[in-house]
Structure 1
Amino acid sequence: MSTGPVVHDPYTLPVDDNVNPYAFSVDLKGQWFLQKGKMIAYYGQISFHGIGHGALDGLIRSNFHSPLHAADWVVAEGQGKMILADRAFDVNSFDLEDGNLTIRSGNLLAFQPGLSLKQSIIPGFLTLIGTGKFVAASNGAVHFVEPPVRVDPQALVGWADCPSPCHHYDHGYMRGVLGGLRALTGVGGTSGEEHQFEFVGAGQVLLQSSEVLMPEQATGAVPHEAGVPGGGTGTPGAPQGVPRLPGQLGDLQRRFGL
């Protein structure tokens, strides 16, 4: 006899835990920082405040220090349950205790105000400092490894309590004609067998079980999404009529996992 789907309500949803591998339930009693587009449903009395719009200046002054990403985040405030998810990617929560963790900006879904978010010196990454829980998505399950280690840039999710990585290129890539052309033009790309991120020192490195990065997605672009009144089928937030050339800085950053 087959069983039907599990039906949840505010009383049966988990408390700060996974609903399933692809969704997480936050038991909100106060405030959480939340990346736009990652909350799929909620119960209770919850309001959402934009970063830099004055409603929670004291909280934001203490806990959010990344002007580059301010438009992508809100503060959820109130009492209730929030269900977080991101395009059916794996979602998990992690705890920091008086620590620091640097993570890809697109992978970070939400965090408690006990943590302070700062803009990493490495493009495309954010750093959390302090004590508290955060929720992150990954393309496959996350594994923790200790330095010294070299990792495929596409598999890297983040690192905790250890120095920032450096680039490592294998000798064959460095001396090869094709490698020289790639270095000059940015055309052709690299693989994890040719180029890695090298970590040394104490700490932990977070790896996803895939060499495929989560696709980039513009946040706060709901009117441009298919299925939304007034929306379309194009890429959300994509500028129109602006050509992209191989080897542009953004392309190089994505190619190297930055």
Structure 2
Amino acid sequence: MSQLNTVWNPMSLPVDDNIPDNDYSFCIDLTQPWFMSKGAMIAYYGQMNFTSLQHGLQGSLLQMVAQQFSAPLYLGDYVVAEGHGKLIIGDRGYNINAFDLDDGNLTIRASNLLAFQPQLSLQQSIVPGFLTLVGSGKFLASSNGPVMFAEPPLRVDPEALVGWADCPSPSHHYDQVWVNSFIAAAGARFGINSGEERQFDFTGSGTVLVQSSEKVRNDMSVIRTIQGQIPGLSVPGLQQINQHINQQLGQQQG
């Protein structure tokens, strides 16, 4: 019987590793609390509780979240998994990778972060749709295909970018020919662009994580980032955004 057809049990499941021959599921040997993305749990053995970060936090659990989770826009996206046993997580058939930070600093696309140990602290990145993990500990991330590690200087298609570690935040780079083109400029007015026209430009030292496709998960975190900025906008600014949204809707519905 191949590993893909193996009938697993708590004794045969791996400890903090992918299921053998299965890059799409990961088994956590739960002996301490983990922060976990809502919906990531697919099965578990043992006794476990899953507590929303927005409801039911008390005592030491509340203190842990207050100290380690400094990303208020994302409180509704995560739970704390507590208890003992084997916790199996997945993400709709995406590849799952485990990474270890050693007194490090890593920024990752919010929709790709599946789980992390509470020794790591989570912060909102200044780049919309991304989160930053700081400290030492293990975290799990999903990707559409295997992840490649690349060294700057490097330009990356935004849709292929998973994250970056120990290097400055990227800047936007726009292709000069595309910018000067009337047709492309008209497309930009309506938000039409691709990785060949717009890239993230990385400089300095560090590591950039790139998935082997240009497919991004449905990323509601970007919407929440925009919503978080709305209270600080003036009436003219809100009117301008409303006008742009109406133009976008008209183009898509036309």
Q: After TM superposition, is the score higher than 0.5? A: yes
Instruction: Tell whether the 8 Å contact from 2:168 to 2:203 is kept in structure 1 after alignment.
Output: yes
Letter of the 2:87 counterpart? M
Return closer, same or farther for 1:8/1:197 CA change in 2, 3 Å cut-off: same
1:62-113: CA deviation from partner (whole Å, max 9, x where unpaired) = 1111111101101001111110100001111001000011111111000001
Matched, 1:30 2:35: no
Residue in 2 aligned with 1:50?
A: 52
Residue in 1 aligned with 2:234?
A: none
Tell me how far 1:141 sits from its aligned partner.
Answer: 0.3
CA distance in 2, matches of 1:199, 1:12: 43
Q: TM-score, normalised by structure 1?
A: 0.81
Return closer, same or farther for 1:30/1:3 CA change in 2, 3 Å cut-off: closer
Matched, 1:199 2:202: yes
Q: TM-score, normalised by structure 2?
A: 0.82
The match for 1:155 among 145, 152, 160 is 160
Tell me how far 1:208 sits from its aligned partner.
Answer: 0.2
Count of residues in correspondence between the two structures: 222
Higher normalized helix content (fraction of residues): 2
CA distance in 2, matches of 1:76, 1:245: 42
Secondary structure of the structure 2 residue equivalent to 1:132: strand
CA distance in 1, matches of 2:248, 2:108: 25
Letter of the 1:117 counterpart? L
CA distance in 1, matches of 2:63, 2:218: 34
- Aligned-residue CA RMSD (Å): 2.0
Tell me how far 1:59 sits from its aligned partner.
Answer: 0.7
Tell me how far 1:128 sits from its aligned partner.
Answer: 0.5
Residue in 2 aligned with 1:126?
A: 131
Tell me how far 1:3 sits from its aligned partner.
Answer: 8.7
Matched, 1:209 2:212: yes
CA distance in 2, matches of 1:200, 1:150: 9
The match for 1:172 among 174, 177, 196 is 177
Letter of the 1:22 counterpart? Y
Instruction: Tell whether the 8 Å contact from 2:175 to 2:198 is kept in structure 1 after alignment.
Output: yes
Secondary structure of the structure 2 residue equivalent to 1:182: helix
CA distance in 2, matches of 1:4, 1:176: 51
CA distance in 1, matches of 2:13, 2:52: 27
User: Any stretches of 5+ residues in structure 2 without a counterpart?
Assistant: 222-244
Range with bigger deviation, 171-180 or 159-168: 171-180
Tell me how far 1:179 sits from its aligned partner.
Answer: 2.3
